Amino acid sequence: MSKKLLTPEELVKDLKQAFKSKIKDAKIERRAVGVKKKERTALWLKADKESLHDIVKHLKNYDYPHLAVVSGNDLGKTIELIYHFTVYYGNPLQEILINISVELPKEKPVIPTITDIIPGALVTEREKQEMLGVKIEGIPDGRRIFLPDDFPEDVYPWRKDEKGPQKMVRDLYEVKK
Amino acid sequence: MSKMSYSIPIGPIHPALKEPVMFEFEIEGERIVGVDFKVGHVHRGIEWIGTQKNPLQILPIAERICGICNISHPIAFCMATEEAAGIEVPERAQYIRTITAELERIHSHMLWAGVAAHEIGFDSVLYLTWRVREKVLDLIEYLTGNRITKAMFTVGGVRRDITEEQYPKIREALNYYKEMFNKLKHVFLDDKTVRMRSRNCGVLTKKEALELCAVGPTARASGVKKDVRVDHAYAAYGDLDIKTVTPDAVTGEAKGDVYDRIIVRLLEVAQSVDIIEQCIDNMPSGDLVTEPKPAKLLALLRKAVGEGVGRAEAPRGEVIHYVKLTGEEHPYTWKVRAPTYNNLMPWIPMLMGEQIADIPIVAASTDPCMSCTNRVTVVKKGRVDILDHEHLHKLSVEKTRRLMQ
C-alpha cells in the first residue's frame, strides 16, 4: 500500500478533528502477546448515531474498512450497537480493530444502513433487525435471516425487557406430567 | 425473470454444517442467473444460552459451536473474556494454544481437500487425503486425549501441557506432512482435469471480496491479504515468522477462483507445519494457567466489569467473539461470529453465470461443507421433480468425465 499508515493516536486525532463532539469517547487499547511482547491495537469509540454513516464513509480514507460483525447490547433504556471494523490489514501487526459503539433509544431504535458503503454489511444488519428489534433504515433486503418464519413478530431474542424471549422459555423441571 | 428461467431450491439439509443453507437458484438453461439463500435452520440460540451460564460453563458450549473449529471458538471466547476481565495468559499457554490451533488447521484443510476432490469426481484423491489426515488426528488424540472436541482451553490458559517427551511424535507427524506435501501439490495443482474444473470457476474478484467482507482462504485467494495471525497477533503468533498466504506466490497472480482457493489451503498446511516447528523449538517454560483453581477463577470473573473482543484465525477465516461482563454470575452479552457468516454474501458473485454442475464445487470452495446437499427440487412449469444430492453430484462427475475425453 502506498498510503502512509497512521498510528492509532494519529487516527483518533484525525477522527476527532473531522467529527469533533460527535465522537464522545475514544480509548486505545494495547495488548502484548507472546514472549516478544508484540502488541495488537484496538480502538473503542462512542459515536453519535446520526454520524455513524459519515464515520464509516470517513474510514474509507484510511483503508477499505472490513466489517467483521455488528454486535449489540440491550442496556435497559437504550440499545447499543457495536460495529467492529478493521483497517490496515495486510500489514503485519499494524492492523487496527475499530469498535464503534452507538446507542439508540428504545422508543425509536432507528439507524441508517451502511450497505451503501459496505454491501457485505447486509447479513449482519438483517440479523440485528430480528435479534434486537432495531430498524435499519434503507436496508435493501429486510427479510429475516436466522429466525424461522413462524417466530412471533414482536419477540427479539437478545432483548432483556418484556420483548425478550423469556416467556417462550420453559424449564423442563416445571412441566407437569 | 425472463420467460425461459426456472428456479431450483437446494437444501436446507446439510448435516455436516453448523448452519444448513437453503439456496434458491434462478436458472436459464444450464446457467445460473440468480442466487438467493436462507440460513438459520439450526440456529440453536447458543448466544442466548451463554447468557444463562457462567464463563467456565460456556467453554464446552463454545467448543461445540462447530465440530471442526472446536479450537477457534473457545480460543476466541477465552481471549474476549480475558480482555474483559483483564487476565493475562502465561507465555507457555499461549504457545500451546498456537500448536493446537495449527493442528486443527491441518486437519480441517485436509478434510476440505478430500471433499473438494469428491465433488468433482476424484474419489481416489478423497481416500488419499483422508488417509493422510488420519495422521494429524492421531497426533491430536495423543496430545489432547481426543480426536475432535479437545477441551484444551480455560479462561486464562490451557488445561494440558505439551511436554518434551511428546516432541518426537510431533516431529514424526510433521515430517510425514512435509514428505506428503509435494505429492499432494502434484495431485492437486498439476493435474489437468482438476485445473479444467477449477480454473476460472467460481471467481470472486478482489473488489468483491473487500466489499462483501469475505474472510479467510476465500478472501486470501482473491488477493486480499487478511490473516488475523499476521495482522493482529494473538497467542504466540506475534513471535513467529509468518507471512499471509496468497496464491500469487505460486501463479504470480490472484484470480480468486476455485483453483486459487486450493492453492491457499495447500500452502497453509505447509505453513502450519512450519508454525508448529517454530513453537516447539522456542517453547518457553512457565505456568499453564493464571488461576488454576476454578472456584477462585469464577469468583474473579464474577467481579469483573468490562467488554472484550477475541479474534482468532480459524481454518475458514476470522472468528470473532464479543463478551460483556457486568459483575454478575453470567456474561451480559456473548456474540459469536463464525467465518461462514461473512462468506455467505460472496457466494452470490461466485455462483452467478456458472453451470448447475458447478454448484457443488463452487459452494464447497468456501469450505462450508455444501457436499451434504441432500435434496434438490426442480420446479418447472408447475411440475415438481425432486432431485437428490446424488443426482447433483452425478452431474458434477459427468462434467469432469466430459472434460477428460
Q: Are residues B105 and B237 part of one domain? A: yes
Q: Please count the structural domains in chain B.
A: 2
Domain count, chain A: 1
Residue that finishes a domain, picked among B290, B318, B341: B341
CATH assignment at residue A71: 3.30.460.80
Average pLDDT over residues B11-30: 63
Q: How far is CA A119 from CA A39, A53, B41, B212, B342, in A?
A: 31, 13, 24, 6, 11
Domain region containing A105: 8-174
Amino acid residing at B222: S
Nearest to A8 by CA among A98, A82, A84: A98
- A3 within some domain: no
The whole-number average pLDDT for the span B214-235 is 92
- At residue B303, the 3 state secondary structure works out as helix
Chain A nearest CA to B383, separation (Å): 25
Domain check: are B29 and B57 in the same one?
no
pLDDT higher than threshold 80 for residue B164: yes
Q: Is residue A99 part of a domain?
A: yes
Q: What is the mean pLDDT of residues B261-270?
A: 93
Residues B383 and B250 in one domain: no
Q: Is the pLDDT of residue B379 over 50?
A: no
The distance of A57 to chain B (nearest Cα, Å) reads 13
Q: Are B126 and B63 in contact (CB under 8 A)?
A: no
Closest residue of chain A to B230, computed from CA coordinates:
A92
Residue B15: predicted pLDDT: 35
Q: pLDDT band at residue B69, thresholds of 50, 70 and 90?
A: confident
For residue A44, being part of any structural domain is answered with yes
pLDDT band, residue B48 (cuts 50/70/90): confident
Range of lowest pLDDT (A11-25, B22-36, B149-163, B296-310): B22-36
Residue B1 lies in a domain: no
Specify whether B271 is located in the same domain as B392.
Answer: no
To which residue does cell 422508543 refer? A107
Higher pLDDT, A168 or B282: B282
Say what the pLDDT of residue B299 is.
94
- Cβ–Cβ of A146/B345 closer than 8 Å? no
| B283 and B313 inside one domain | yes
Distance CA B368, CA B317 (A): 11
Q: Do B146 and B263 fall into the same domain?
A: yes
CA-nearest residue to B244 within chain A is A90
Q: What is the mean pLDDT of chain A?
A: 89
Task: Write the ipTM.
Answer: 0.92
Confidence of residue B371 (pLDDT cuts 50, 70, 90): very low
Q: Is residue B348 part of a domain?
A: no
Domain that holds residue B139: 46-341
Q: Rounded to an integer, what distance in angstroms lies between the CA atom of residue B79 and that of residue B311?
A: 8
B106: enclosing H helix or E strand:
helix B91-119
Chain B residue whose CA is closest to A159: B48
Q: Are residues B294 and B374 in the same domain?
A: no
pLDDT of residue A107: 92
**B76: in domain:** yes
pLDDT tens column, A83-139: 999 999 998 889 999 999 999 999 999 999 999 999 999 989 998 999 999 999 999
Same domain for B85 and B11, yes or no, is no
Query: Does B392 or B108 have the greater pLDDT score?
Result: B108
Residue B98 forms part of a structural domain: yes
B interface mutation test: which of A25, A45, A70, A95 has the most B CBs within 10 A? A95
Q: Could you tell me if B255 and B140 lie in one domain?
A: yes
Return contacts of A122-131, CB within 8 angstroms, 24+ apart. Answer: A122/B345, A123/B341, A123/B342, A123/B344, A123/B345, A124/A67, A124/A69, A124/A70, A124/B337, A124/B341, A125/A70, A127/A70, A128/A70, A128/A72, A128/A81, A130/A156, A131/A72, A131/A156, A131/A157, A131/A158
Q: What is the pLDDT of residue A54?
A: 94
Tell me, what's the pLDDT at B384? 46
What's the mean pLDDT when you consider all of chain B? Answer: 85
Asked, for residue A91, whether it belongs to a domain, the answer is: yes
Which candidate from B45, B234, B309 shows the least CB-CB separation from A84?
Answer: B309
Over residues B98-137, the pLDDT tens digits come to 999 999 999 999 998 988 888 888 889 999 999 999 999 9
Greatest mean pLDDT range, B38-42, B107-111, B350-354:
B107-111
Same domain, B32 and B113: no
Residue A39 has pLDDT above 60, yes or no: yes
Which of B333, B343, B348 best tests the A interface by mutation, with the highest count of A CBs <10 A?
A: B333
For residue A112, how far is the Cα from the chain centroid? 13
Nearest to B315 by CA among B221, B197, B189, B216: B216
From B341, B369, B386, the end of a domain falls on: B341
Put simply, the answer to whether A66 touches B213 (Cβ < 8 Å) is yes
What is residue B300's predicted lDDT score, i.e. its pLDDT?
94
Residue B242 lies in a domain: yes
Which CATH number characterizes residue B64's domain?
1.10.645.10
Residue B41 has pLDDT above 80, yes or no: no
Element holding B134 (H helix, E strand) = helix B123-144
Give CA A10 to chain center in angstroms.
22
On whether residue B155 sits in a domain, the answer given is: yes
Model confidence, pTM: 0.90
Confidence class of residue A14 from pLDDT cuts 50, 70 and 90?
A: very high
Give the mean model confidence (pLDDT) for residues B132-154.
92
C-alpha cell at A163: 420483548
Instruction: Give per-residue pLDDT as tens, B268-305.
Output: 999 999 999 999 999 999 999 999 999 999 999 999 99
The verdict on a CB contact (< 8 Å) between A145 and B40 is yes
Cβ distance of A91 and B235 shorter than 8 Å = no
Task: Tell whether B21 and B82 lie within a shared domain.
Answer: no
Q: Is residue B347 part of a domain?
A: no
Name the pLDDT band for A177 (thresholds 50, 70, 90).
low
Instruction: Give me B210's grid cell.
Output: 473487500
Spell A38-66 as b/e; 16+ CB within 10 A means b.
eebbbbbbbbebebbbbbbeebeebbbbb
Place of cell 495488537: A40
> Which residue among A29, A33, A94 sits closest to B235, beta carbon to beta carbon?
A33
Residue B388 confidence (pLDDT): 61
Domain end (from B291, B320, B341): B341
Instruction: Answer yes or no: do B35 and B52 share one domain.
Output: no
Q: Is residue A66 part of a domain?
A: yes
Q: Do B213 and A158 touch (CB under 8 A)?
A: no
